[in-house]
Amino acid sequence: MLSVTSFSEVISFLCLILAIALLSIGVGKHFKDCFKKPIKERQQRMIRGLGWALLMLSLAVVNPLPINYVIWLTQLSLIILIQAVVLSRFQTIRKKPHLKLGRNPSR
């Protein structure tokens, strides 16, 4: 996305996208919104672990020049923003139980 000139930068960028996608899916409500079923604890641990591992890998393969770390951090910020916007499209509006049933909770 940003000054993608070498192979390592492409790998880093792809890992970053995948990492953020996995980390966001690892959040229970986003998983439910996307796959219409609740996430299992083991699944969540695996997804999050893989997400963090990919994030670390993405940082590790960056060509070690100061300017490349600035690019990486900028990519990270923008991918999180884009991911949040994408997830908001899948979102289902959750209502509190009393609102669903049309009851007044104070009663």
The site for another protein (CB under 8 A) is made up of: 1-3, 23-24, 27, 29-30, 65-67, 70-71, 73-75, 77-78, 80-81, 83-85, 87-88, 91, 93
Shortest CB 8 distance to another protein, Å: 17
Shortest CB 45 distance to another protein, Å: 16
Shortest CB 49 distance to another protein, Å: 16
CA distance 40 to 17: 23
CA distance 102 to 107: 12
Task: Locate all alpha helices (DSSP H) within 26-96, ordered by sequence.
Answer: 28-35, 41-60, 66-90
- Residue linked to tokens 């020049």: 65
**Cβ closest to another protein, residue 97 vs residue 107:** 97
Shortest CB 75 distance to another protein, Å: 7
Phi/psi-derived region of residue 92, left when phi > 0, alpha when psi is between -120 and 50, beta in every other case: beta
Residue pair 61/13 in contact by the 8 Å Cβ criterion: no
**Cβ closest to another protein, residue 15 vs residue 72:** 72
**Cβ closest to another protein, residue 80 vs residue 107:** 80
